[in-house]
Structure 1
C-alpha cells in the first residue's frame, strides 16, 4: 500500500513550478500504478498552451476558477469546483487561470516520471525507460 500526504511533497523535486502553474506529483511512474496522480494550481491571470501528444489526462477542478479553450474548434469551457474534463483525444488547448488560483487534481496515462514540463509545443516528453 502507498500512503502519502501531499504536504510532504512541498519543497521536494516532486513539486514542479513554472511561471503559470505549480504541480505536486503525488504518484509517479516509479510507483507502478499505471498512471500518475497530481495536485496542480493554475495561477490567476495566466495562460498555458498544452498539447499532450503522448499522454491522456483527466482533470477534476476542486477550487478556484479558470477556462479551457480547445484550439481545433475554439470552444471555451468555464472551469470551477466540480468540473471534470478529459483530454481523451490529445486535445491541444489553452488553459487559463481566472481571478482566483485554480486547484485541480490530475491523472496521466501513461504515468509521468515527475520532472516533466511542457516543451515549446506544449508537449510532455514520452519516457520509455522503466524508471
Structure 2
C-alpha cells in the first residue's frame, strides 16, 4: 500500500512539474525578434499622423463653432432649469445649432452618486 502511495505521489509531482514547465513555455509565446517584426508592421507613424490630424481638425472646428456661436448669440454650454446640461456640438445643414444634451440626472439620483459630490452626505469634495 505504501508503494502505491509513493508511486502516486511521485507521478503527481512529475505531472505537476510537466504542467508548470509547459505553461512557462506557453507564456513565452513570442521571441524578441518576432516582437520586433510585429512592431515594425504596426505603422506607428501613420497612426500618429492620423491622430494628430484628427486633433487639429477638431480644434479648428471648435474654433469656428465658437466664432459662429458668438455671432449668433448661441450658448456654448448651459445647465437648464431641469438640471440637464447642453453643449454646442455643431451646425446643422439648415444652419441651426446642434446641441448635445444629457439625460442622466435621474440615474445619478437613483444611484446616489450625488452623495459623493461637494455638500453630499459623505462630506467629500468631489465634483465632475
Q: TM-score, normalised by structure 1?
A: 0.22
Q: Which has the higher contact order (CA 8 A, sep 6+)?
A: 1
Higher-helix-fraction structure: 2
Q: TM-score, normalised by structure 2?
A: 0.22
Higher-strand-fraction structure: 1
The structure number with the bigger radius of gyration is 2
